[in-house]
C-alpha cells in the first residue's frame, strides 16, 4: 500500500496566529517538495459558509443550535475531498476544525439572571449548549493525525491586529473558549486517536514556525495507518 498524506490541524484562540502559521507551514512543506494543501474552516465560500460569514459579522441572527449545525455541515461538505487528497498522498493543513466548533459553541452562556438582591457570591454562568451536544454532529469526521494548539493569553491576543471585529472576539468569551480547548486536548490525548500538542502562540512568529516544523517533520515521510475517525 502506498503512503497517505498527513492530516494536520492548527487550532487556537482568535488571533493566536493560526492563519499566519498555516500559510508558513504550507510554504515550508512545498519547499521540501511534500505534496500539500491548505484548507480552512469556516470555509466562507460555500452557500453554507456564506450564512456563517453573515452571522460572524453580526449581519444576521441565528439560533445557537442552528449556527452550530451549519459550522459542522460546512466541515462535512468537504470530507470527501479531504479523504481523496489524503489517500492520494497529499498532506492537508487545516486552519481550525471541529475543535473550534465545540469550543466556541460550548462557551456560550445565558446572561446572568436579574435577582432582587445582588448576590455577594460570583454567579457561575450557565452554558446554553452542553459539551456533549456540541460534539455530536462532528462524530465520525476524519480525525487529524496531529493537532497543533496555539496557546495564547486572551489579553495578549487582544493586542494583535484586527481583534474585536467579529462576534466572539471578546476577552471573557475567549477565556471560556480556552478552557474548553484544554478539555478537548486532554480527551484527544487520552483517546489515542491522533496527537494534540500545545505550543506557545505568544512567541515571535519565527519561533512558533520552528516549534511547528519540529512536530510536523516526522509526518512528512507519509503514513501507512488508515485515516481514523473522531471519537
Contact residues: ligand T5A, CB under 6 A: 12, 14-20, 41-42, 56, 71, 96, 100-101, 104, 160-162, 166, 168, 204-205, 208
CA distance 167 to 184: 22
19 binds Na ion (CB under 5 A): yes
- Cβ at position 122, least distance to ligand T5A in Å: 25
With CA atoms as reference, report the closest residue to 173 among 182, 185, 164.
164
Q: Contact at 8 Å (CB) between 198 and 151?
A: yes
Contacts of 77 (CB under 8 A, 6+ apart): 46, 48
Return the number of the residue (15 or 108) whose C-beta is nearest Na ion. Answer: 15
- Cβ at position 12, least distance to ligand T5A in Å: 6
Q: Which stretch binds Na ion (CB under 5 A): 15-23, 98-106, 113-121, 200-208?
A: 15-23
Map residues 38-77 to x or -, x wherever contact with Na ion holds by CB under 5 A: ----------------------------------------
Q: Contact at 8 Å (CB) between 13 and 180?
A: no
Beta bridge partners of 195: 146
Size of the site for Na ion (CB under 5 A): 2
Question: What is the rounded (10 degree) CA torsion for 40, 68, 72, 171?
Answer: 30
Interacting residues toward Na ion by CB under 5 A: 18-19
Amino acid at each position: 500500500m502506498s503512503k497517505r498524506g498527513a492530516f494536520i490541524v492548527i487550532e487556537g484562540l482568535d488571533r493566536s496566529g493560526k492563519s499566519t502559521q498555516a500559510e508558513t507551514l504550507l510554504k515550508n512543506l512545498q519547499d521540501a517538495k511534500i505534496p500539500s494543501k491548505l484548507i480552512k474552516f469556516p470555509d466562507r465560500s460555500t452557500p453554507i459558509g456564506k450564512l456563517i460569514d453573515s452571522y460572524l459579522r453580526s449581519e444576521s441572527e441565528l439560533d445557537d443550535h442552528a449556527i452550530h449545525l451549519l459550522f459542522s455541515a460546512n466541515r462535512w461538505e468537504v470530507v470527501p475531498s479531504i479523504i481523496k487528497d489524503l489517500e492520494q498522498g497529499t498532506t492537508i493543513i487545516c486552519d481550525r476544525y471541529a475543535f473550534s466548533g465545540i469550543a466556541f459553541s460550548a462557551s456560550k452562556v445565558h446572561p446572568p439572571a436579574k435577582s432582587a438582591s445582588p448576590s455577594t457570591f460570583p454567579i457561575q454562568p450557565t452554558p446554553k449548549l452542553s459539551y456533549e451536544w456540541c460534539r455530536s454532529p462532528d462524530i465520525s469526521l476524519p480525525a487529524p493525525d496531529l493537532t497543533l494548539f496555539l496557546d495564547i493569553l486572551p489579553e495578549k491576543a487582544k493586542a494583535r491586529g484586527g481583534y474585536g471585529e467579529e462576534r466572539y472576539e471578546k476577552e471573557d468569551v475567549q477565556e471560556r473558549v480556552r478552557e474548553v480547548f484544554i478539555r478537548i486536548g486532554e480527551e484527544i490525548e487520552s483517546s489515542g486517536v491522533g496527537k494534540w500538542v500545545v505550543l506557545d502562540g505568544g512567541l515571535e512568529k519565527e519561533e512558533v514556525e520552528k516549534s511547528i516544523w519540529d512536530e510536523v517533520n516526522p509526518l512528512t515521510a507519509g503514513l501507512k495507518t488508515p485515516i481514523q475517525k473522531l471519537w
